[in-house]
Every structure is written in structure tokens, then in C-alpha cells.
Amino acid sequence: MTTIRAMEYRIVRNLLQRREVEPPEAGHAMWVERLIAVLATTAGVFLLGSYLQELLWVLLAVGTIGVLGDS
């Protein structure tokens, strides 16, 4: 085995051992995804409100009626 292949084998073996020992943090990833979704929605509403103010108010009214109607 050449030196490069031995190094590659060692790196892969170490990575596989880490994966078995350390479970991925699912809770952390969930919060990051939720934060990104909230920020993207906020940016979208901000852009929509700056360009189409009337449409924004209509969408807010429809959303409010939809939420209150489901209760």
C-alpha cells in the first residue's frame, strides 16, 4: 500500500468511527432550518410590502380570517 493510500484509509476509518460514536445533533439542525425559514418568510413579506402594499394587506387579511376561521 502506498503512503497516500494508507493515509486515505486512516482518514476514512477515523471518519467512520466518529460517525458511530457521535450521533448527529438533530435538534440543532431543526432549529437552524426553522430560523432560515422564518428569516426567508420575513424577508419575503418585507419585499412584498415594499413593492405591493395593497396586496400585502389583502394577504394579511386573508391569513387572519383563515386562522380565525379554523379556531
Q: Take residue 37 and report the three cell numbers written for it.
A: 425559514
**Locus of grid cell 457521535:** 22
More confident residue, 26 or 59: 59
Other C-beta atoms closer than 10 Å to the C-beta of 20 total: 7
* 18: in domain: no
Q: What's the half-sphere exposure (Cβ side, CA atoms, 13 Å) at 5?
A: 2
Query: How many domains in the chain?
Result: 1
* 40: in domain: yes
Find the DSSP H helices in 1-71.
3-21, 26-51, 53-70
* 36: in domain: yes
* 17: in domain: no
Q: What pLDDT is attached to residue 29?
A: 77
Amino acid letter for position 38:
V
Integer Cα distance of 11 and 45 in angstroms: 46
Q: Confidence class of residue 25 from pLDDT cuts 50, 70 and 90?
A: low
Query: Which residues form the domain of 36?
Result: 24-71
* 60: in domain: yes
